[in-house]
Amino acid sequence: MFSNFFFWLKVNLGFSRKESRGFIILTPILLLLILSPFLLRELRAGAHRNTNSRIRFLLDSLESKGVNLLQSSSPVFNPMDTARSTPKAPSLRRIPFSESDSITLQIVPGVGPALASRIIKFRENLGGFQDKSQLGEIYGLKADVIEKIWDYFDFDPGIRQKIKVNLWDVGDLAKHPYIGFGEAKVLVAFRTQHGPFQQADDLLKIKIFDREWVRKISPYLDFDDGNSP
């Protein structure tokens, strides 16, 4: 097939065999250069479509939470709008922080998908926040971002899931942010030897636990042993 093509190039264009081979090699490159603007345009259009879809998904999530999204009275961007200092947060009905999810948290500047998921996981494993300062215990969450969170969300303290310290096994206990795997093993071993815990101070009978740690974890403890009527 190539021999016939080389012969055609030689007869019609006067190409030598070496020139014909160079022509075959350069042709795909030339085609790629010609088509590259169209390919780039399509790639950019696809990226814009993905961005618009993501924004629409985020807006739908906010609306499902009851946030009233304000729209400009003018459809045209006015550069003078940037000269006025208009606070963002008052234009939104703030969501209770306990109802936030990994999507709505991303409205906060500085919070991306990974950090939002980490915040939600910490909150769920913790059982709920008692104090705003507990957000400072989340790895990678900086103080300035924490302050911004309260511009968009209302802090509603409350423990919604407690640690069933007399019923959970080592694996379940170790999921709590305040209990490591070693501490969970000690809790289960002590409970097995001495019976169910009755109150938070019972944990002080275990020498590896100090009063500060017990004070920190005590609001999250549930002493139900499964035998209550």
pLDDT of residue 110: 94
pLDDT of residue 56: 64
Alpha-carbon gap, residue 200 to 178, rounded angstroms: 14
For 195-206, what is the mean pLDDT?
A: 95
Alpha-carbon gap, residue 114 to 109, rounded angstroms: 13
Topology of the domain covering 163-222: DNA polymerase; domain 1 (1.10.150)
- The yes or no reply on domain 89-154 and CATH 1.20.1260 is no
Residue 113 has pLDDT above 50, yes or no: yes
Domains 89-154 and 163-222 in one fold: yes
**pLDDT tens per residue across span 56-101:** 666 666 666 665 555 444 444 444 444 444 444 445 578 899 999 9
Higher per-residue confidence, 83 vs 128: 128
Tokens 């790639």 identify what position?
A: 43
Alpha-carbon gap, residue 37 to 183, rounded angstroms: 61
The domain segmentation of the chain, as residue ranges, is 2-64, 89-154, 163-222
pLDDT of residue 76: 43
For 132-154, what is the mean pLDDT?
A: 94
With 0.85 as the threshold, say if the pTM is over it: no
Residue 199 has pLDDT above 60, yes or no: yes
Alpha-carbon gap, residue 196 to 186, rounded angstroms: 13
- Amino acid (one-letter) located at 108: V
Percent over 70 (pLDDT), the chain: 66
Task: Name the band, by pLDDT with cuts 50, 70 and 90, for residue 42.
Answer: confident
Percent over 90 (pLDDT), the chain: 56
